[in-house]
Amino acid sequence: MEDYTSTFLSLNSLWKDGNKSEFSRLMQDSLSVAADPYKMVSVCIKLCPDLFKNRSSGMPANIIVEFMSFLGKGNYPKYEHCLNEALQVDMFQVAVRQKNVGLMRLFVKAFQLERIKMLLLPHIKDMGLQGQLKEVATLATLLNLQDEFSTEDLIVPLFLQDRLSLADEFLLTSPRHQKEILSFIDSIIGKQVNINDLHKTYKIKDPKKVKSSKMLCNTVAKLLKKFDLDASICPHMQKHRARGALRYIFYKYYIEKGIQVQAFQSLIDDALKESPHLGPDLMHLFDEYHDLEAAAPYVRKLQLHPDDIPVRIKEVISAKPHLTDGNMDVAAEKQLEEECWDDGRLDFYSLNVPLEEVVIVTSVEEFTKCMSDLTESPVIAMDSEWKPTFGIGSAEQASLLQMASQSRVFLLDLVALQPLLEDSHWSCIGQLFSNPKITKIGYGIRGDFKILAKLHSEVQKGFANAKNVVDLDQIKGILVEDYPDIFPHSSSNYKGLTDLVYRCFGLPLDKTDQFSNWAARPLTKSQIRYATMDVVSLIDIYTFLDKKAQELNIEDWQNIRPKKGKEKVKKDRPVRKQIPNTYEDMQMKVMNKEPILAADFHVICDTMVQGLAKKLRCFGIDAEALETGESCDKCIEYYEKEKRVVMTKGSAYERLAKFIPSSFIYKVQKESANQQVEEIINVFNVKVTTKDIFARCPKCNSASYLFVPSSIIRALKDIDVNMTEGVPDKWVQCEGGEVNLSTGNTRQGVPVLVARIADGIISRTKTFYVCAQCGRCYWDGSHYEKIINGRLSDVVQEGGIECEELSEG
């Protein structure tokens, strides 16, 4: 080791001074003259004081990066003989103590540890026996040893300990283990594995979760999506969800009375087609709901074994054998024959469009004519329908797109059109929605956009650039709160669009066909009437509100925002108990055109956007963040207690939106943290001035700093933390608080983190900014200039007191 100690001392001196360019130059020069570069690097790494501090930006990592750069310049063949097993094993022992996966990866690559992976395998397996499953999964992935570990020994224990995410990279690179863990979980769902036996073999963190078929099915569904695998490899999960779907269809029909008979039978037929094993379950459900005669036709159709038929159904068939020969569609056909276009019930809002004005579009020619007519209309309404999937099979697929002008209604049969339309046709739909001259009306229109965007990339592009869109769902809440006189009828017990129709016209919509098999063809007249009624009612509501707004002098009602001091609460969603708003003006500032100051903007970021929180703090925004592993439901508590705006991403948005008003939750669209910051500041119209830059600690979100002179920082760095016991306190006053020169703590007991500050920085810095909450140290540096002059410069305005440039200690 003495051969390269002097080299390390020179490198360490440059590193402490923060002179990275000279550090890099000296590394390359030293490697070029070293007789054994591998030995030099290993010696320098083991002498690094921060070797096991697991920092990817630390000195050991930089040494390895410089070494790999050196080898990459054509030096590998020249020094290949220097790499021996003893050195590799030595570096492996160092690598396994690294908790930072990125740093561990550098060791594996630089010292080519995969070449001796079979020599290292026994040691890695011993680590598994000691319970170091995370480290084993990481090393097995880096060394390409996945095939040497069984799912039972590595992946199953992680799953039962609720730590499966630790094996993400392992699983993503091993299709065999993907299928095996899914099969294992599926076997639990199918009751093929005894939970008590698992308790004896493995440590189970949450037994309730393992016993819950619903939670296990959700886990399987997520893994299938992540690994892009076919659900057929998990038959028990499919059967469980199929049974649940069938039970729900019966509940909707017999209890809620929310399905017509032909829709009920159509959904059952589709369920049996997709899951033939449901026959016995179907019989038991008919028996449970006491509709024994309705079960009879299915007995012959499904050719069920006598043991699968409940006794009461057998008795009915024995007494009335002709029922098994009956046509199951008789009742449906009878109802269809009785259907008439204008037979709407008197207690529901009636349809005022004649049948001849409704065009069902099934061909390219009809589609072209439809688009031409709609493009000429100044106002169009839209809605869409799809078959319910119940969480099984493929995702929701739009089956019908309804669009109406003030004179015509077009029902685009997407089942028929999808095989026929080309890119240019789909582009017509996208252009219709991106055309600012046409007003597009919808109710909860973003939900329709989400489903319809799957049709084609051109449609998705049009929705992404949609302009002049009026969502009556959002507008209704504001009008009810701020302009209740616009509605001639008071609040009702209805929900959604039906509620709005009732407020305007005093009658609700007939939603009987909402829960229907929209993928079945041909559509019934009842379905056509329902689909037409939805879009026609939107046109009627728009016309009604436009007239009333003029009478009441409500300007620009289509783009209305809440009045000052009032919070929009969606009446249709189950909202948890509201806590009085402690930031009364925040709602107005978020929703209105007026900007909100960065210091007055308070957010909570869930685990999907943790990095965003740190970036927002750099701009002076009060941004809390959930810890890794915390449920997104905790965001609801932050909203209720502190009225923070929730920042989220992915499927968590749909879950949280059920409990949080739409103006207090936002689904982040961009991917990188810098892009996300720019997005949030623009979307919420946040005013960021130069005084806001680094006004908060990026690490802990505190807005309190101690201004500590460099002389005190140097004194604190000289403290031996192992020799502070019994030493009398020695307090010194700084701007913003006090520091104890004997212990290195602030008056609040927070240690000032000076160990990471190089001596050279202390020498050339006058004042350090110490976070009062976490003790991190910052100083004048380049980060401020990077924000002011970088890609985010457009979101920062001049104003206030000039802020110091900060770099993290």
Q: Give the DSSP letter string of 692-723.
A: GTT-S-TTT----EEEEEHHHHHHHHT--GGG
pLDDT, position 393: 59
Give the pairing type, strands 398-404 and 409-413. antiparallel
Cα separation, 706 vs 750, in Å, equals 12
Q: How many CB atoms lie within 10 A of CB 447?
A: 13
Going by C-beta distance under 8 Å and a sequence separation of 6 or more, which residues neighbour residue 644? 602, 603, 604, 624, 638, 664
Best CA proximity match to 268, nearest among 308, 230, 295, 303 = 295
Give the pairing type, strands 686-689 and 796-797. parallel
Classified as helix, coil or strand, 142 is helix
Cα separation, 78 vs 71, in Å, equals 9
**What residues form DSSP beta bridges with 648?**
667
Going by C-beta distance under 8 Å and a sequence separation of 6 or more, which residues neighbour residue 249? 259, 264, 267, 268, 271
259 contacts 516 by C-beta, under 8 angstroms: yes
233 contacts 176 by C-beta, under 8 angstroms: no
pLDDT, position 256: 83
Residue 732 — φ and ψ, nearest 5°?
-125, 140
Q: Give the DSSP letter string of 156-216.
A: HHHHHTT-GGGGHHHHHT-HHHHHHHHHHHHHHHTT-S-HHHHHHHS--S-HHHHH-HHHH
Cα separation, 644 vs 622, in Å, equals 9
**What residues form DSSP beta bridges with 667?**
648
Give the pairing type, strands 731-734 and 737-740. antiparallel
Cα separation, 653 vs 295, in Å, equals 41
Q: Around 660, how many Cα atoms within 13 Å sit in the side-chain half-sphere? A: 31
Consecutive 10-residue runs of the chain (809 residues): their mean pLDDT? 82 92 94 94 94 84 92 91 95 91 88 96 94 93 95 94 90 95 95 85 84 89 90 92 92 87 90 92 95 92 93 93 68 46 67 86 96 95 89 77 94 96 95 94 91 92 91 92 92 84 92 87 91 95 95 92 57 37 34 72 91 91 87 83 90 82 89 88 86 87 90 85 69 88 86 86 89 88 63 54 37
Q: Around 633, how many Cα atoms within 13 Å sit in the side-chain half-sphere? A: 2
pLDDT, position 351: 84
Going by C-beta distance under 8 Å and a sequence separation of 6 or more, which residues neighbour residue 611? 673, 676
Q: Indicate the length of the chain as a whole number.
A: 809
The dihedral over CA atoms of 188, 194, 195, 196, expressed in degrees to the nearest 10, equals -170
pLDDT, position 687: 87
Cα separation, 11 vs 27, in Å, equals 7
Burial of 423 (0-12, 13-18, 19+ CB in 10 A): exposed
C-alpha to C-alpha distances, 258 to 24, 53, 154, 339, 713, nearest whole angstrom: 72, 62, 48, 18, 72
Instruction: Provide the whole-model pTM.
Output: 0.59
